[in-house]
């Protein structure tokens, strides 16, 4: 089993970098988010391609190689203690061929993002690096939410204070029981899209899932793809986060697909695209008590 590596906690005065591995970034939203990061005492540098735009494809923040180069430069630069993604959208899959994940893991530092960023979390976590699934630098609504902002700050600066990842999450029991293992997962569509690719890494342990803008039949298709691929074979527990802006019958579809796994499961956790997005450390050992609605991390205090 791969050793788990927890990056060093952040401290006031640390310098961090903002990258845009996915979609285009609104400058005013980024400016507002950076204010929050600086309020924690961080020095914040925005990498060159974040606001560059793509000449041909407006749904990308910049050219694939430019986005990959920014990610690599920020990560390997010893001045930066952490790398924050500006936003999700779409695009990480396109730059993975230009990223040496082993090179990044060899220089452990905090990496923050969610949604499309799942395509980077997956191979990083598979190699043992703990990363943060949580609010991004331009996620103004999420950073404006006191509880969500404080969870992210605490995970990065005072990890020993985060004793229950589902505290304030509003999670509801679906299947009773207790499960242990490494916390993995993220965005459902990105996890399904990685099947058959070089970065495909099925989880062993507890899985968190979130999604946005998927109708019931679309979520059904994605979950069925993962089920048929054997993706859940070594999953010990499930944390179903927000499936935002979904269509009628979505919750029932998710239950119908996942309840037969008969593993401890909670649903409705405030993890995903809503204003309250509670950050969680992917790749870390956790204990899910689905009956009590708790998710207890192990190994954060020593970071």
For residue 78 the two structure tokens come to 């010893």
What is the spatial distance between Cα 208 and Cα 108, in angstroms, rounded to a whole number? Answer: 23
For every residue of 270-295, which 3-state class applies, written as one string?
CCCCCCCCCCEEECCEEEEECCCCEE
273 catalytically annotated: yes
Q: Are the beta carbons of 262 and 237 closer than 8 angstroms?
A: no
Beta-carbon neighbour count of residue 41 at 10 Å? 12
Catalytic residue selected from 69, 122, 210, 274:
210
Q: How far apart are CA 210 and CA 249, in angstroms?
A: 16
* DSSP β-bridge partners for residue 217: none
Give the separation between CA 271 and CA 133, rounded to whole angstroms.
9
Residue among 139, 150, 183, 177 nearest 272 (CA):
139
Q: Where are the beta strands (DSSP E) in the chain?
A: 15-19, 43-46, 80-85, 110-113, 131-133, 172-175, 178-187, 205-212, 235-244, 265-267, 280-282, 285-289, 294-297
Q: From the candidates 115, 194, 294, 303, which is the catalytic residue?
A: 115
- Whether 115 is a known active-site residue: answer yes
Catalytic residue (choose from 133, 273, 274, 303): 273
Q: Quote the CA–CA distance of 20 and 164 in Å, as a whole number.
A: 30
Among candidates 244, 259, 256, 257, which has minimal Cα distance to 214?
244
Residues with catalytic function: 115, 210, 273
């Amino acid at each position: 089993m791969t050793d788990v590596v927890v990056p060093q906690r952040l401290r006031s005065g640390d310098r961090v970098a903002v990258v845009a591995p996915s979609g285009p970034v609104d400058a005013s939203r980024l400016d507002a988010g950076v204010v929050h990061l600086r309020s924690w005492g961080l020095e914040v540098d925005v990498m060159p391609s974040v606001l560059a735009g793509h000449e041909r494809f407006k749904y990308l923040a910049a050219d694939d190689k430019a986005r990959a180069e920014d990610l690599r430069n920020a990560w390997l630069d010893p001045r930066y203690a952490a790398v924050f993604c500006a936003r999700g959208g779409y695009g990480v899959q396109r730059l993975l061929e230009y990223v040496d994940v082993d090179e990044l893991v060899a220089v452990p530092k905090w990496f923050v993002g969610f949604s499309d960023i799942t395509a980077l979390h997956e191979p990083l976590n598979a190699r043992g690096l703990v990363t943060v699934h949580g609010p991004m630098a331009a996620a103004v609504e999420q950073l404006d939410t006191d509880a969500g902002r404080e969870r992210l700050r605490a995970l990065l600066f005072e990890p020993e204070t985060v004793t229950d990842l589902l505290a304030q999450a509003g999670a509801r029991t679906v299947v009773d029981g207790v499960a242990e293992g490494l916390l993995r997962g993220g965005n459902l569509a990105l996890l399904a899209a990685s099947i058959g690719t070089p970065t495909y890494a099925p989880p062993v342990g507890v899985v968190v899932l979130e999604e946005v803008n998927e109708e019931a039949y679309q979520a059904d298709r994605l979950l069925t793809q993962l089920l048929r691929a054997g993706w859940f074979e070594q999953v010990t527990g499930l944390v179903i986060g927000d499936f935002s802006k979904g269509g009628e019958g979505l919750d029932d579809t998710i239950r119908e697909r996942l309840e037969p796994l008969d593993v401890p499961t909670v649903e409705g956790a405030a993890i995903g695209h809503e204003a309250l997005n509670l950050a969680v450390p992917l790749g870390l050992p956790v204990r899910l008590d689905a009956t009590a609605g708790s998710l207890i991390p192990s190994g954060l205090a020593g970071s």
